[in-house]
Amino acid sequence: MNSSFYNGISGIKTHQFGLDVWAGNIANANKVGFKISTPEFSTVYAQTMTASPTTPVANDVGTGSHIKASTVSFQQGSITKTENPFDLAINGEGWFGVVTPNGENLYTRAGLFNRDATGYLTDAAGNFLVGTIANNIKDGVVIDNPIRNLDLAAPEAQAKILLEDNIVMPAVPTNEVTFKGSLNSKPIYKLNQDNTKVEIPNKENFQSLLINSDGTTNKLILDFTKVVPQAIDKTIWKAKATIVDKDNQTINSKEGELLFNDRGAMVANSLTSIDNNGTEIKLNLGSIYDPNKPNSGFDGLFSYHSGEEYYAKSVTQNGKKGGSLTDYSVQDNGLIVAGFDNGDTIPIAKIALYHFRNNAGLEQSSPIYYKQTANSGVPTFYKDKDGNTLNTAVISSHALETANFSMATALTELIVMQKAFDASAKSITTSDQLIQNAINMKK
């Protein structure tokens, strides 16, 4: 009978632990990135009352229970939308890595990040979000614009993510302008006073903006004048390129000539470039006709006559205006991108998404932060056979992962724990009454 006392006491202790665990889950129900814990119990040992080869366990009597552990559930929480672009939710497998002000590495699913006073991405506790840095900005100026993508470096090479307030995208000076389309060679006539027809020159005009190395702009004007009268088997156009500044003052001009065959294909061109304040601008008017090369002579400017199809003219240049930083955004692969007012974008960093061989082996240092242990294994990144990072989750911007918590489940578990607690206490009072009755039998 004495064992029933100890069973009741152990039951009270273990179910008090269960109540504490579920109360803790309820207390953190609204904490972003929180993962619930489940209490686990085990029997202390079993005592066999009789030994029988035919009934080896029928008479076993339990001698109480004890606390085994509390197991964390890493089930995905719900995703909720927010207004902050640096609120990040992991939809799938993985952990954000953060570094405490003391340099300790922690891992979390809570993506409540913001830029601190110095521009670093931090959470409310002052921990720094880590990732791979593009290193394409120096002294506030973009120095490696061609970078358009970024892959994660080694796990130990991740660094704090700095998002500067002011970044300047330098101008890319124009060094080539491409012209495409048709020059209208259909004859134009006017009547003289004696009612005789006289052909007058056709005229065409193209214009393009030129980006200078200092970010200012000039304008390129290309004028074409058809030479009249024309031969039957060819068409000649005089060409003049003029560069003017913003005040419409001429900086440079150059003349040349274009020759087209009877089909309208370009067969000669003497205007191929012009100087713009020391920068040589290539004037790409198209290729010279070669019967062995398809579309040659027609891939730039060509001349059309009456009854032939008309093609719209177009002008493109390879320069780009400079720009200033307008905003940052986070893509679903964790890439942080800076946007500029000239329409350009560049990657700044890629957020590290860590993985562990055994998530259950992580040590919980607070409700939402975890530490690496020998049981969890080292943090790694998933890579394909070519060494590129595999995306096992979507990182959603303007979103947060809520606690993987069900109030209905928690309240049900509380009722179960409470009833078990009460029943364990009742087993003690019942045993006490039985012993008291046994003592009274002697009186």
- Burial of 24: CB neighbours in 10 Å, binned 0-12, 13-18, 19+: middle
- Report the distance separating Cα 21 and Cα 366, nearest Å: 14
pLDDT at 404: 84
Q: Hey, is 368 helix, strand or coil?
A: coil
Q: What are the tens digits of pLDDT across the range 347-404?
A: 999 999 999 999 989 998 888 999 999 999 999 999 888 888 888 899 999 999 998 8
pLDDT at 306: 58
pLDDT at 51: 53
Q: Convert 25-69 into a string of H (helix), E (strand) and C (coil).
A: HHHCCCCCCCCCEEEEEEECCEEECCCCCCCCCCCEEECCEEEEE
Mean pLDDT of 185-197: 84
H/E element holding 345? strand 345-351
CB 443 within 8 A of CB 9: no
pLDDT at 209: 94
**pLDDT surpasses 60 at 56:** no
- Please confirm whether the linkage preceding 229 is cis (ω < 30° from 0): yes
- Report the distance separating Cα 424 and Cα 76, nearest Å: 35
Q: How far apart are the first and last CA of the chain?
A: 20
124-137 burial code (b ≥16 CB/10 A, e <16): eeebbbbbbbbebb
Is beta strand 345-351 parallel, antiparallel or unpaired with respect to 188-191?
A: unpaired
- When pLDDT is cut at 50, 70 and 90, the band that residue 434 belongs to is confident
- Report the distance separating Cα 335 and Cα 338, nearest Å: 10
Q: What are the tens digits of pLDDT across the range 4-47?
A: 666 767 767 787 877 888 888 888 888 888 888 878 776 665 55
DSSP, residue by residue, 95-145: EEEEE-TTS-EEEES--B-EE-TTSBEE-TT-PEEEEEE---EETTEES-T
Average pLDDT over the chain, rounded to an integer: 86
CB 127 within 8 A of CB 101: yes
**pLDDT surpasses 60 at 174:** yes
Amino acid at 164: E
Q: What is the DSSP letter of 156?
A: G
How many Cβ atoms from other residues are within 10 Å of residue 283's Cβ? 22
**pLDDT surpasses 90 at 285:** yes
The percent of residues above 90 in pLDDT, for the chain, comes to 54
Q: Mean pLDDT lowest for which of 226-230, 277-281, 431-435?
A: 431-435
Greater model confidence, 340 or 312:
340
Residues 6+ positions from 440 with CB-CB distance below 8 Å: none
Residues 6+ positions from 443 with CB-CB distance below 8 Å: none
- When pLDDT is cut at 50, 70 and 90, the band that residue 307 belongs to is low
